[in-house]
Structure 1
Amino acid sequence: MVTVILEKIEQQYKSLSKQQKKLADFILKNPNDIISLTSKEVGEKADVSTATVVRFAQQQGLDTFADLKIAIASQLSSGKVIVDAVIDRNDSTKVMSEKLEQVYASSVQKSYAMLKIADIDKSVKLINAANNIYILGVGTSGLIAYDLYHKFNRYGIKTFYETDSHMNLEFLTSATKDDVVIAISYSGKTKEVAVGTEYAFENKIPVISITRTDSNLINSSNVVLGVPDNERTIRVAAIASKLSTMYVADLLFISIMQERFGMMKDSAIRTNQLVNKLKDK
């Protein structure tokens, strides 16, 4: 298996020092250039010391900077390239479209690589056994929560979600041990989600969280469906995190749909028949 070294660097990004981040930024933005440069030249271009470049390579579990170049070359030749999604002021529409296409592809690839099938199966089992589903999520995560809420209800799974986080918590006070809470928060720091998750966990209501694996939500979750830490602070918008979270949420939904195919199909037909009456003249 080819070592996806650029992805590894991106995953480490938030824990790097200021100098290491400068170097990581340069490597992620210019992976093709790295192959032909010496450690000294990389240091000069990234505005860090040569020693920082060498130590950075060793931090990746490699012996030398030459080994880092080989790892990057191997990834580039495999076609599994993690591009830097920073929108530059001088980017053309074509360049921006290429960057966005690669962000979409790499987000799904990284999410797929992180999947733990056993956790998906456990989540499906909890949802299938539940009387009601309660979903928590605000902001960008709220968009995904709202979409999942509609999908579940459309296919006959009684689900509660409200864009008003106060009302969402009000709904949650009616939940029991026979229900399930799905908490969606990329950062895991959203207070509206954290408060609801902690309440559910303390009251023995099963919690499935879709979040980063370093999130505080994992401490109050029965099952964690992890998404990659792929949003560096220099990105323009939360595109990659939204895509990764949506991928996991959609996988959870279609896994439920597969388990309940007959019942969900009938419910969808009834829903479509009712909604189509709005189109009658």
Structure 2
Amino acid sequence: MILETIEQRYKSLSKQQKLLATYILRNPKDILNLTSKELGEKSGVSTATVVRFAQQLDLDSFSDLKISIASQLSSGKVIVDTVIEKDDTSKIMSEKLEQVYDSSIQKSLAMINENDLNKAVELLNEATHVYLLGVGTSGLIAYDLYHKLNRYGIKTFYETDAHMNLEFLTNATKDDVVVAISYSGKTREVSIGSEYAKEHHIPVIAITREDTPLFSSSDICLTIPDNERTIRVAAIASKISTMYITDLLFISVMQLRYGEMKESAIRTNHLINKLKEK
């Protein structure tokens, strides 16, 4: 879809091209009735920039760009601009958030490489221990996965203190696996841990965007979409995309260990239920 393509390429665009891309993403229907000159005037760029922009999207002309947008609009698969505006009503906010959820999951699903996913699941299933790396929002996702895996009998290590997390990692062996989570792929606390793991022949599963340092240094990378375009609900979008992948890993491993994990869940629930007894 052409609008998703523009979103994915947004960060690599020039300042003028970003102005144009922002206008198109916010007003896709309006583009159909504009000439390249009129679009340039409305978005604050030159006509030449409009033409070159279409060509950068592997289209022959601005007319082809309009045709692609019209095709997507007619299919009903249209992204809603999710920039939060001051005068947004509760209904509009709800619709924007719904679009963020739907779009993030659809984009993440489209990026899944089944072969890489299966390899990652196999590594997790066979690992003696799992070590998780992640800070900030990625840390919250790592913490969620940490609890899920431990709850179902998979010995997993994660600490919100990055220093302690790296201390844990020094005990890892080649029979373990590291899951490194970072949207930017540049988080120092994560990259140091993944580099250490690689040096000591410990398999690394990265969850990050394409073309990042973490992507390049991992054994297996499960990519997430680049969906932080402007000041918008983007932190939510990247969180949803990443958690979609970690949850997919979890349920895939749970499927392989169905009987074993079921027994572990029963034991855990039985113990926790004692807290509810009077």
TM range (shorter): over 0.9
Which of 243, 262, 267 is matched with 1:265 structurally? 262
1:205 maps to 2:186: no
Cα deviations across residues 6-54 of structure 1 (Å, max 9, x unaligned)? Answer: 0101111111000000000000111111111111111111000111111
Report the alpha carbon displacement of residue 219 of structure 1 after superposing the two structures with TM: 2.4
Per the alignment, residue 60 of structure 1 pairs with 57
CA distance in 2, matches of 1:106, 1:233: 16
Per the alignment, residue 248 of structure 2 pairs with 251
After TM superposition, the structure 1 stretch with the greater mean CA deviation from structure 2, 235-244 or 119-128, is 235-244
- How big is the alpha-carbon RMSD for the aligned residues of Structure 1 and Structure 2? 0.9
Unaligned runs of 5+ in 2: none
Q: Secondary structure at the match of 2:84?
A: coil
Q: Secondary structure at the match of 2:201?
A: coil
After TM superposition, the structure 1 stretch with the greater mean CA deviation from structure 2, 180-189 or 90-99, is 90-99
8 Å contact kept, 2:32–2:70 = yes
Per the alignment, residue 150 of structure 1 pairs with 147
Report the alpha carbon displacement of residue 83 of structure 1 after superposing the two structures with TM: 2.1
Unaligned runs of 5+ in 1: none
Letter matched to residue 137 of structure 2: T
Regions of 4+ moved over 6 Å: none
Letter matched to residue 12 of structure 2: S
CA distance in 1, matches of 2:165, 2:37: 55
Report the alpha carbon displacement of residue 234 of structure 1 after superposing the two structures with TM: 2.4
CA distance in 1, matches of 2:136, 2:116: 25
CA distance in 2, matches of 1:76, 1:237: 23
CA distance in 2, matches of 1:79, 1:111: 19
Per the alignment, residue 111 of structure 1 pairs with 108
Report the alpha carbon displacement of residue 151 of structure 1 after superposing the two structures with TM: 0.4
Report the alpha carbon displacement of residue 237 of structure 1 after superposing the two structures with TM: 4.8
Q: How many pairs align?
A: 278
Letter matched to residue 141 of structure 2: I
1:242 maps to 2:232: no
Which of 4, 9, 19 is matched with 2:16 structurally? 19
Per the alignment, residue 278 of structure 1 pairs with 275
Q: Secondary structure at the match of 2:132?
A: strand
Letter matched to residue 205 of structure 2: I
Q: Secondary structure at the match of 1:204?
A: coil
1:223 maps to 2:228: no
* TM-score, structure 1 as length reference: 0.97
CA distance in 1, matches of 2:206, 2:174: 16
Letter matched to residue 272 of structure 1: N
Q: Secondary structure at the match of 1:268?
A: helix
